[in-house]
Structure 1
């Protein structure tokens, strides 16, 4: 492998908070909290590490370095390695569905990378990214990603099957952003959405399909904040708000 554990203490400053994938060294050198997923690969593209680094109080450097040391001490996975029966099941089901994934030699490796990521994610109540939100943002990065996750996660990490189900139905936890109303990754389902904690200096807005404002509100402070999304809404926007979760 071409990587070394010293990479986590590099001084490369090419990364930024908006584009953290551009420089992993910047993360360690100034101890910033970058928002996003960091992926490191060896020269054979066989080892992938996803690090969700969202909590401003999280020991980013320590976690990153420990993950690097652990990964670099592990023998890279190769196509010749024997897959487990469950992994073979995933590959067979994905192939039967006529699906493929990019950047991975097999579908089960694509799913396994996600399964390995979930335990290290934070709770939405603490401002972190939970598995449903991670899947909501990552399921569409590969053309067939959402469907492959839907097939593989219930087999390889069934504890998180509810999270891919939530992402596919538009029920995943939502951060700041604008979401079209509907079902599917990146969308928000109609219903009651509640902030996971008190809201301060938050703005939310419901608009029609043509962009007209249906309802909106600036919230200076609220111990409980609920937004009712209608089926006839076009989109919903949250700015400066706590994480929002579907209630019913």
Structure 2
């Protein structure tokens, strides 16, 4: 049985006091063989932590570093220079998460758009894919991706929550669609539709831990072990066995991030 890859999790000490060590162990026991640890926050401490964790466990942990749209106002010359340096580290497989969030507007929209464009430029410079956060900003997200040449690097639409039209345009630019615990929510009809329809070679699974715990664990702090529930729901929507989802999404993760995740699970496997 092929194990799963959690393609988006936050494991910095602000969420996991032991820097995610126990959460990684629990996930491996549940059949998760790979982790893309995303480092974003009010400063670059989470990015540094993600890189350190990936360096310490290179066989099965990779890092992504970026500036979340909530924190777009923190992007200045110094932070850009450090992020540029971090993004070149061999343990870093993507620039992200970056994008737009018009739900909370923690940073002014014009600042978000400028930061987003600049960070796509960084990804093109270092030739690494991007991890996209978009919330209530579908039109502007797609427009900036297209205008800034994001198809040159591709990447992942993280925590997919849009509709089939958005998905089709993202797929056309070479992006993968990553499904989180939202897929298990009863009311997420448009996400269900896309998950059932999307090409098998362009789908991924993630937790976005510590957020968005899936059914039947809603209300709890999420962690990478819970990705199995999203994978099971994806299998149901596509009317296939979870083994096929595990195999496909793991192969897709390797292509999307241009590296393999080789560590075996510690006990059992996905769906065992």
Give the TM-score, by structure 2 length.
0.34
Greater helix percent: which structure? 2
Greater strand percent: which structure? 1
Higher relative contact order (CA 8 A, sep 6+): 2
- Rg larger for: 1
Give the TM-score, by structure 1 length.
0.37
